[in-house]
Every structure is written in structure tokens, then in C-alpha cells.
Amino acid sequence: MTSVTKRVPIPPKGVDYRGKLVLAPMVRSGELPSRLLALHYGADLVWGPETVDRSMIGTTRKVNEALGTIDFSRLPSNGSKDPRKDQKESLIYRLHPEREGKRLIFQIGTSDPERAVQAARIVAGDVAGIDVNAGCPKPFSTSGGMGAALLQMPENLAGILEALVKEITPEFEIGISVKIRLLETRELTEALVRRLCATGITGLTIHCRTTPMRPRERAIREQLKMIADICRETGVACLMNGDVATRTQALELISEFGVDGAMIATAAESNSSCFRSEAEGGVAPWAEVVEQYIKTAMEVENRWGNTKYLLTHMIPGKLTVYREMTSAKSYHQACKILGLEHLEAQAKEIDEKLNITPDTEYQGRKGKKNKSAMAAGGNRGGNQNKNRHEGKKNLAERGVQNQPAVALNV
């Protein structure tokens, strides 16, 4: 294995990604309560969801003293221009400086160096690092030349990183990183990684899938050692992403492939206790995690629609309580469905603050409170995604050619 020849200096207010198990950036699943939950269960760092540069530019930074948060909001661009009409600002990004600030990485969606710097400068003073998304395959990102589209424009991607390193790092004393995917061949991936590591970044995350691949398809790890060696040669920390389900598995993969850390996505979306070590109890029952999540979501007054979305990922889909949750229209209804009587009063207060007024009040099955909902299946951990790798295609069909046949450790 190549010995360490250099190490990119970690800025005074930045973080070293080495030895870290972190929460992946996930749209909708990476909002504030999800990040706080991951930290509660042992995540070392958390990435926020990809936030497009244009959406951040023009926001106003406000300290929310009631919640202890910092909110970035703006008036809607398509709203009424009539000064006589009150316009409600849209919340673009919310962070908690005390509970996550020094462990929060802001991921930016961008295709332009100048806009990237302009947007990053707005939030850089409140986070521990800026990460560029160069891996999202979804049309909302790639259609604007962002995300995985940047993989086909390596010089533009490198230019974005160089601009951020030049402008943001000296001013805010935090590091710049990038998250990418595998390219079609080993040679293309190697060339890309070498180019990006020369920009001055402190960290690089490799999602072990190509752009056409989807989460249900098994991650490809044949190129990991090569990528890790390049990062080590240039002093850049290397994180791996793709089919990492628990802290125990992450440590095994870090040792096997020589990377510096690992990132968890899907498993954390359904059960954040995957960040706990076996000594700390490992993956907790879903009911315990759901209760902790609802408490956290109410503490930061998370938008109900987002909270409900996460709950339907955290509750096993075959249970009756899952079907009932899909019909919930408020925090109070959710607490009744889950049998969380001790949280109902708080839930009512939050509903009032958020102006949530469901048409009908949930009474439970057959007019009775559902006291046992949390007990039904509540002893199950995070295994509901065990079939996500079914339907695996061969390497050629998945966008990777001329790769050696190596057994995959998943």
C-alpha cells in the first residue's frame, strides 16, 4: 500500500474526514431533524441535502431564538409584487448551530464557479465544510448541469472546486470537498479523481455506483483501493458510499479497502441507530427510533409533510400502523396512531404553531386509541430494506466495462 506522502492541511474551523462515519446528503431525508437524529445515534458528521446555488442566493439569514436555529429564507421568486400584499417567506435551509454546526457539511448543487462561491459565502460561516454535489443522477439536478452531469465536464467541476478553495477557505477557514460517482471505465475514474484531488480539496466521497445505476443495484467496489491510493498520495481524505448499512460493516470496509471513512444513506433513512456500535446496542427497534424522531422534529418545528415522509420510511411497510400513518394529517394524529400519549399535548401545540388544522381528528381503529401500535413489530431493527439489491444487473448493463471479476463484499 502506498505510504502517506502528504496531507492537505485542515483549515482551523474545518473538519478532518478521516476516521468518520457520516450521514449522506439526501433530498427530503436530510433535513434538520434527520441530521440531529443521526448525531444522537452516533454519526460523526452529517451532510445536509443538496441545496441549489440559485435557491440560496438572495436568502436572508435570521437567528430563530425560539428554536435556537439559524434560518435562511427568501420571498418566492414567482410571488406577488404588490407591496400591499403580505408575502410569506419560504424557508430554504435551517440548521442548529449548537447541536450540529461544527459537524454539519453544506452540500451545494451548482454548475458555475461564480454562483457556487456566491451561494457558499452565505452559509459558510455557520457550517464545518462545503461539499459540491457531482453525483446526483436525478433530472432536477442534471438538467441544470449539476450533480452527475458534472462528471462529464471535469474541467468545469475542477474549476468550481478551485474557486471555492480560493475564495471560501481563506475567508471562512473551512475545507471544500466533493462527492462523485464511478465513471464508465477504471481509467476515466482514475483521471477524474487525480484531477479533482489537485484542486486543493480536503475530502472526496466516492459513491460506488455509476450514474445510470439505482440504489437497488449492488455497489461496485473494485475501484476503491485505486481511488483510496490516489487520495492518500495527494493528501485528500477518501470516504466511500454505497451499501454501507451499519457502523460495524463500515469499519470492516474501511479496513479492507483502505479508505478513510464511510457514508451511510438508505440504512440511515429508515433507522438512524445504524450509526451505533455493537457495544452501544447496535441497530435499535424501529419504534424507539420513530419516537425519538418525532420528538426531535417537534423540537425544531419541522414541516409536517417532511416529517410524515420520513415516518413512512421508518415504519415497516407491512404493519397496520404504517397504513394508518399514510393518512395522518398532523403531529397530533401521528402521536395518537403511534400510541405516544405523553407527546400529544406537545403535538397539539406544534400543530397550532404550524397552522396545521386537519379536517377530522384521528380516533384510532374502531374509535379507540391505538395504544399498542408502537409495540406491533417494534422489536425489529433496520432490516426492511434487505431486498433492495434484488434484480441486480451484470456490470456491462450497469455502466461499467472492462472491470475484473472480483467478489463484492456487501
Rounded to the nearest angstrom, the gap between the alpha carbon of residue 180 and the centroid of all alpha carbons in its chain is: 14
User: Based on the domain organization, do 255 and 315 belong to the same domain?
Assistant: no
What is the per-residue pLDDT for 143? 84
CA-to-CA distance for 345 and 46, rounded, in angstroms?
31
- Burial category of 395 from C-beta neighbours within 10 Å (exposed 0-12, middle 13-18, buried 19 and up): middle
Give the separation between CA 196 and CA 199, rounded to whole angstroms. Answer: 5
Q: Give SS3 for 107.
A: strand
Unique residue bearing C-alpha cell 438572495: 58
Q: Using the 3D structure, point to which of 282, 309, 341 is the last residue of a domain.
A: 282
The last residue of a domain, from among 231, 258, 282: 282
Counting Cα atoms < 13 Å in the Cβ hemisphere of 345 gives 1
In a domain, 142, yes or no: yes
Same domain? For 229 and 297 the reply is no
Which residues touch 133 (CB under 8 Å, ≥6 apart)? 25, 50, 107, 108, 109, 110, 141, 146, 147, 179
How large is the average pLDDT for residues 242-255? 97
Would you say residue 85 has pLDDT above 70?
no
Per-residue DSSP letters for 71-104? EEEE--TTS---TTS--PPEEEEEE-TTTTGGGE
Mean pLDDT of the chain: 88
Q: Band the pLDDT of 367: cuts 50, 70, 90.
A: very low
The per-residue pLDDT for 6 is: 76
Instruction: Check whether 382 has a pLDDT greater than 80.
Output: no
Could you give the angle at which helices 154-172 and 186-197 cross, rounded to 10 degrees?
Answer: 30
pLDDT for 2 beyond 50 = no
Q: Is residue 109 predicted with pLDDT exceeding 60?
A: yes
Structurally, the chain folds into a number of domains equal to: 2
Check whether residue 213 and residue 230 sit in a common domain.
yes
Q: Mark whether 118 and 261 lie in a shared domain.
A: yes
> Rounded to whole angstroms, how far apart are CA atoms 202 and 260?
12
In this prediction the pTM is 0.87
Query: Which residue type, as a one-letter code, is found at position 53?
Result: D
Catalytic residue annotation: 136
Instruction: Note the pLDDT tens digit of each residue in 194-247.
Output: 999 999 999 999 999 999 998 889 999 999 999 999 999 999 999 999 999 999
pLDDT > 70 in the chain, percent: 84
